[in-house]
Amino acid sequence: MTLNPGTAVYTGTFDPIHLGHLDIIARGSNIFERLVVGVGINPDKSPFFDMAERIAMIGDVIKPYPNVEVQGFDGLAVTFVRRIGARVMLRGLRSASDMEAEFTMSLMNLNLDKEIETVFLMAMEPYSHLSSTLLRQIATFGGVLDKFLPPLVSAALQKRARDRTTR
Ligand code: ADP
């Protein structure tokens, strides 16, 4: 199968999607003809939101971008990227510590499939401190989330955090 250089896959856990992710999606959609958001399973994390919930939230917030779509995958990211027919895996970089982990990951992916290149976009300054992990913690302790998340995601995260603490 020939891989299309105009197609990119933005992989991640997105538990949940936040404004930093959305900024990478918006900028990626201006570079690539087609951008697929690939929602993966992280075996080291037990998610707040299951795969179907994460996909539904992403589906909602990508509506303004006609060349962006969302799909779930399990297994290796490079296998999914090849299945989509994309040449490019898109990732966001927040900090030097992200860089170290992403550097190793992108070289490993290149070893697994030499035709798939990872392309990085630097996080925009207002979002560079955002992570889904931190936002889940803030939600758990009842902090305000509206500045960091699309409204629908903020409401869902607050509800999920409340449900988990009263369980
Ligand atoms: P993963 O568990 O694979 O790191 P995440 O959902 O945390 O998945 O992140 C998916 C991608 O988005 C990664 O490339 C990550 O570096 C990037 N990313 C995460 N937070 C931000 C942010 N605030 N700004 C830009 N990119 C981000």
DSSP 69-96: EEEE--S-HHHHHHHHTEEEEEEEE-SH
- Among protein residues, the one with the nearest Cα to ligand 1's atom 14 is 91
Q: Has residue 134 been placed in a domain?
A: no
Q: Has residue 87 been placed in a domain?
A: yes
Query: Known catalytic residue: 132?
Result: yes
* d(C-alpha 90, C-alpha 79), whole Å: 14
Q: Has residue 133 been placed in a domain?
A: no
Query: Known catalytic residue: 94?
Result: yes
Point out the least confidently predicted range of 40-44, 56-60, 106-110, 111-115: 40-44
User: Could you list the residue range(s) of the whole structural domain that residue 31 is in?
Assistant: 4-125
pTM for this model (two decimals): 0.95
Give the active site residue among 18, 132, 136, 154.
132
* d(C-alpha 1, C-alpha 83), whole Å: 9
pLDDT over 80 (residue 167): no
